[in-house]
Structure 1
Amino acid sequence: MPDKYIVTLTPEERSELMQLTRRGTLSARKMKRAQILMLADKGHKDDTITQMLNAGISTVHRTRQKFVEGGVEFALNERPRPGGQKKLDSKAEALLIATACSDPPTGCCRWTMQLLAERLVELNVVESLSDETVRRTLGKKQLKPWLKEQWCFSTVGADFVWRMENVLDLYAQPYHPEEPVVCFDERPCQLIGETRVPRPPKPGRPQRYDHEYERKGTCNIFGFFQPLKSWRHLKVTEHRKSEDFGVCMQYLVDGLFPDAQQVHVVLDNLNTHTPAALYKTFKPDEALRILSRIQFHYTPKHGSWLNMVEFEFSALSRQCLNRRIPDIEKLRHEVTAWEQRRNRDKTTVNWLFTVDDARTKLSRLYPQTTLS
């Protein structure tokens, strides 16, 4: 039976189709339609084209028909399809977004897609609404009401700036053996024991340990870090009371830097990090003697990033403490080995942020002054 729609390409159309198929940038559908037109132009029947291109007979027939009715462009491209009617108009979308940004209903910790859809139905905005429509609408605005981020809202002002510049200026000073700069802080550590003996790794199988564990209590790690000498020291204690802080300061001036005239200590604003802690620990004469050889430099509140010992604690957590350690003696042994290796390798922090950088990059934090 002869084909009803005869394809006869002009030389220009034939050349255009050849170039399109050679570029390799056409979609699979357009490529197949172009090949159908070229084969039909050569006189091949629909059955033959179907077998050569592994295409459906209806596809070959429709491509011929579209070419005869509208030309090459019409045959290659899809007919415009009317989209479905939008479920939410601009006002309804605005209401949905405002609702998602408001407090959730009583008894719920957050808005869900289903709760938002039900709320719009309750408000007679729409008769019905699916969760998926709500999700797509919020997705266009990159709004995710089910997500929450913990953030630190610091109070920034003259006190923040003064403490920040005081620490940054201290870091910019050259090394002076009689006035060493030591960054100090502490971190809690949980002691955890195994309930079953872990199995060592084997080729093709990682190490295995049981999901159950036994809590063995908690302890504390004090950290001393002298960046200009690439030196650190960690002291493991059972707790972190004011007396422990006082003992650390005594150890700092008498045990670690006995020949220093004054030790500059960078630390945060923890309630135990005060000169009063030494008077709670020692007799007044001893407390005053220790404090006369120490000058405290407090980082701003919520500005612990200015304390370089935080980098050491971060490395310690990732390299040494990221496992189960059952008792304080084992912890002391592991922490000491980590400390010795870091000191031997002369690992330090190359601090580059200066006062001038702060005044340029953090200018928004500085209060407006009335006098020059």
Structure 2
Amino acid sequence: MTSKSSRAALVLSQAQQAMLKELAGSRTAAVREVERARVMLGYAAGQTITQLHRQLGVGRPMIYKCIDKALAVGVQTGLKDKYHRPHAPEITDEAKAWVVALACTKPKEHGLAAELWSIAGLAKFVREHAPGAGFARLAKAGKSTVWRILDECDIKPHKIRYYLQKRDPEFDRKMHEVLMTYRDVSMYQEGAVHDARPTPIYSVSVDEKPGVQATGLTAPDLPPVLGKQTSVSRDYEYVRHGTVSILAGIDLHTGHIFATVEDRHRSVEFIGLLKKIDAHYPPDALIRVVLDNHSAHISKETLAYLGTRPARFEYVHTPKHGSWLNLIECVFSKMARTFLRHIRVQSKEELKTRILQGIAEINASPVIFRWNKFDLGVV
């Protein structure tokens, strides 16, 4: 340390002054750093140690140390505490590696019932098995100790992050075909290409929404009351009347929705939807159907029906686990957010009627769903 009488002047650049002023006025930074910033600013402005001591209310040794450190190693380093380790770590790197390795396994692999580790569960397992593994220091490890070890490696064994595995070897090809269909529809809707094809082509996205619950009330809903009740009140309990399936398709050119509501979604119900679509279009047109590989779509019964209508339907299959590529999902989402939301009925028949009524209301003001993003690297 330089002597008190020979201590050099602290010269700050404009950038350093601006940084220190901002830090000195901060209400969220560490108190020690705020105090050091004020000391440096005051000393650089020509204040004496005594003046800084009286003005800032900090100890003189702290002021000497702060100024000497800033003069020796720079302003930025002078603001921070010097890292030091008073004694050797009691938990070795090998012990930490053992804990991390445990966290990367599943509890069931060690004979436990849980699927994922909780921090408490992992800490308990570590305490019980650490002595036998040669890490006696971990025999008293708590949750915080285990958490710090895992945090150093950014391991979170109690959380799940989902991903989608491509199980279809032809995923890219099928996605390419679906997107080419959407691009073709978009181009002809915008009039960018003159359609000189001898056979008109109509494109329809088709899928099913199974398991729509017919739930009923156990007590009447109570309407809002001015000054007393701001919203509808509903009894927590409900009655289940069963489920229905919505089989639907949307004309990608006009937004018109074809739909049937059935108790099941077998081949016979799907053929019923195809017949409804068939009756809607001119007899000489080709109907291009975007759909998945559900068993009802490719069953013997469905293929037999398609055989009675040669050159009428053309399938464009979405890849496995690629339902997000089918625009009919946008229709199902709209149904869920509008008339299916909070719906209560007294029977499945009433639910079917209400669903068909909701679809008719959508068809009264149809919306054309378009796929606008074609830059997926395959088109």
TM-score normalised to structure 1 length: 0.72
Note the C-alpha offset of 1:332: 4.1
Instruction: Give the structure 2 partner of residue 90 of structure 1.
Output: 93
2: CA distance, partners of 1:61 / 1:42 = 7
Output the aligned Cα RMSD. Answer: 4.1
Q: Give the counterpart letter for 2:22 in structure 1.
A: G
2:287 is equivalent to residue 263 of structure 1: yes
1: CA distance, partners of 2:234 / 2:38 = 56
Instruction: Give the structure 1 partner of residue 339 of structure 2.
Output: 320
Instruction: Give the structure 1 partner of residue 23 of structure 2.
Output: 25
2:200 is equivalent to residue 187 of structure 1: no
Note the C-alpha offset of 1:309: 0.9
Contact 1:234 1:335 survives alignment (8 Å): no
2: CA distance, partners of 1:135 / 1:184 = 49
Instruction: Give the structure 2 partner of residue 124 of structure 1.
Output: 134
Note the C-alpha offset of 1:185: 0.5
TM-score normalised to structure 2 length: 0.71
Distance of aligned partners of 1:132 and 1:257 in 2 relative to their CA distance in 1, 3 Å threshold: same
Note the C-alpha offset of 1:186: 0.6
2:344 is equivalent to residue 339 of structure 1: no
2:144 is equivalent to residue 144 of structure 1: no
Note the C-alpha offset of 1:140: 2.9
2: CA distance, partners of 1:42 / 1:150 = 59
Aligned residues: 338
2: CA distance, partners of 1:67 / 1:15 = 15
1: CA distance, partners of 2:231 / 2:34 = 44
Note the C-alpha offset of 1:229: 1.8
Q: Secondary structure at the match of 1:127?
A: helix
Distance of aligned partners of 1:197 and 1:142 in 2 relative to their CA distance in 1, 3 Å threshold: farther
Residue by residue over 1:185-244, the C-alpha shift from the partner in whole angstroms, topping out at 9 and shown as x without a partner, is 011211122223344456795544333222121001111111222222332222212211
Q: Give the counterpart letter for 1:111 in structure 2.
A: W
Note the C-alpha offset of 1:171: 2.9
Contact 1:182 1:265 survives alignment (8 Å): yes
User: 5 Å matches for 1:201-212?
Assistant: 201=224, 205-212=230-237
Contact 1:36 1:63 survives alignment (8 Å): no
Q: Secondary structure at the match of 1:168?
A: helix
Which of 321, 345, 349 is the matching residue for 2:369? 349
The answer to which of 190-199 and 333-342 deviates more is 333-342
Contact 1:220 1:236 survives alignment (8 Å): yes
Q: Secondary structure at the match of 1:25?
A: helix
Q: Give the counterpart letter for 2:157 in structure 1.
A: P
Distance of aligned partners of 1:72 and 1:289 in 2 relative to their CA distance in 1, 3 Å threshold: closer
Distance of aligned partners of 1:267 and 1:43 in 2 relative to their CA distance in 1, 3 Å threshold: closer
Distance of aligned partners of 1:20 and 1:266 in 2 relative to their CA distance in 1, 3 Å threshold: closer
Instruction: Give the structure 1 partner of residue 166 of structure 2.
Output: 154
Task: Flag structure 2 segments of 5+ consecutive residues without an equivalent.
Answer: 25-32, 73-77, 189-194
Contact 2:96 2:149 survives alignment (8 Å): yes
Sequence identity, in percent?
21
2: CA distance, partners of 1:353 / 1:265 = 20
Contact 1:275 1:291 survives alignment (8 Å): no
1: CA distance, partners of 2:299 / 2:373 = 29
Residue by residue over 1:38-65, the C-alpha shift from the partner in whole angstroms, topping out at 9 and shown as x without a partner, is 998496797xx4xx76x5xxx4455467
Q: Secondary structure at the match of 1:24?
A: helix
Note the C-alpha offset of 1:14: 10
Contact 1:262 1:294 survives alignment (8 Å): yes
Contact 1:191 1:217 survives alignment (8 Å): yes
Note the C-alpha offset of 1:100: 1.4
